Amino acid sequence: MPVRVTLACGATDRTLPMILGDVRPAGIDLTFLRMSPEEVFWRMTRHAEFDAAEMSLSSYILRRSRGDDALVAIPVFTSREFRHSCIWVRADAGITTPADLRGKRMGVPEYQMTAAVWIRGFLSDDFGVQPADMHWYSGGLYQPGREEKLPINIPGLDLRAIRADQTLSDMLLGGELDAIMGARAPRGFPGPRVRRLFADFRRVEADYFERSGVFPIMHTVVIGHALLEREPWVARSLYDAFCESKRRAMSELSEPAVLAVTLPWQIAEVEATQQLMGEDYWPYGVEPNRVALETLMRYSCEQGLAERALPIETLFAPSTLDDFRI
């Protein structure tokens, strides 16, 4: 009898074969609930509604560093993105270089969100700009009332929640903020009053990858510890299904007969990306991602989020860390 598992996760080309049922995890009767990241993270973190879910990697590291093992990840990375493109500044704020962020008012939807951890990390590593150099304001980007999913308290950091009737976008447009970082663009961009800090972000991000070898990871997939206590094999079954689903998606990207996505130069994009990043530029598993995982762990500790550095292997279900051989 298959085990019933409810999975809340975003819909992408990498997960579409699972959504359609073309890829089925062995031994599992899967209910796939398609949700935006903000919804699934909130509902899984605050209410533990699902057997498995896509999860902010920063939030997961933070929880595990505090000794919370209610969730166990599998090394599936459903979302990755270079984030140099995700700092937006007021055109009249006098910010033309990262160094100009010092002393400025920076908005962020949640201080512990993964995108912001990566951005603060490269600002520190590559430009010498530290989190304490800015004044931080957290809250909803488009809607008032957004809260941190997990409580944080970082001594010496000027971090305050905006009022319950405010949004970061309106504050930026109204001149109450100088810049915003995060996963989504604020209202007003593109437009005359808001621009990116890094206008030529693709060149900057390619240079970052060439120097660091890091393709930043945003999200992983977590499974309830209670389910794995009863059915430990579920972790490997879900992991294998996610791997096969991604394999099919990436294979279609290289197929020229009918373009898989609505981009005229899709094939050229794939070839250029593979030339820079290798054939499997979106790997799952721990070893191909060790540098990225260790970098995010370091950033989380340096920024006062994670309470301690954890060995990377301890974050993931043991059955996903090795494989049989014949």
Three-state DSSP string of 127-179: HCCCHHHCEEEECCCCCCCCCCCCCCCCCCCCEEECCCCCCHHHHHHCCCCCE
Query: Using one digit for the tens of pLDDT, what is the confidence trace for 167-213?
Result: 999 999 999 999 999 999 999 999 999 999 999 999 999 999 999 99
pTM of structure: 0.97
Residues paired with 89 in a beta bridge: 179, 195
Query: Using one digit for the tens of pLDDT, what is the confidence trace for 61-106?
Result: 999 999 999 999 999 999 999 999 999 999 999 999 999 999 999 9
Angle ∠(160,197,42) on CA atoms, nearest 5: 45
| Helical ranges in 21-96 per DSSP H | 37-47, 57-65
What average pLDDT does this structure show over 215-238?
Answer: 98
Query: Using one digit for the tens of pLDDT, what is the confidence trace for 102-151?
Result: 999 999 999 999 999 999 999 999 999 999 999 999 999 999 999 999 99
Query: Using one digit for the tens of pLDDT, what is the confidence trace for 15-42?
Result: 999 999 999 999 999 999 999 999 999 9
pLDDT of the residue at 102: 98
Cis peptide bond prior to 17, omega within 30° of 0: no
Return d(Cα 110, Cα 255) in angstroms, integer: 39
Query: What is the share, in percent, of the chain residues with pLDDT greater than 90?
Result: 99
Which domains can be identified in the chain, with CATH numbers?
3-81+217-291+310-317 (3.40.190.10), 85-212 (3.40.190.10)
Q: How far apart are the first and last CA of the chain?
A: 28
Quick check: 1 pLDDT over 90?
no
What average pLDDT does this structure show over 210-238?
Answer: 98
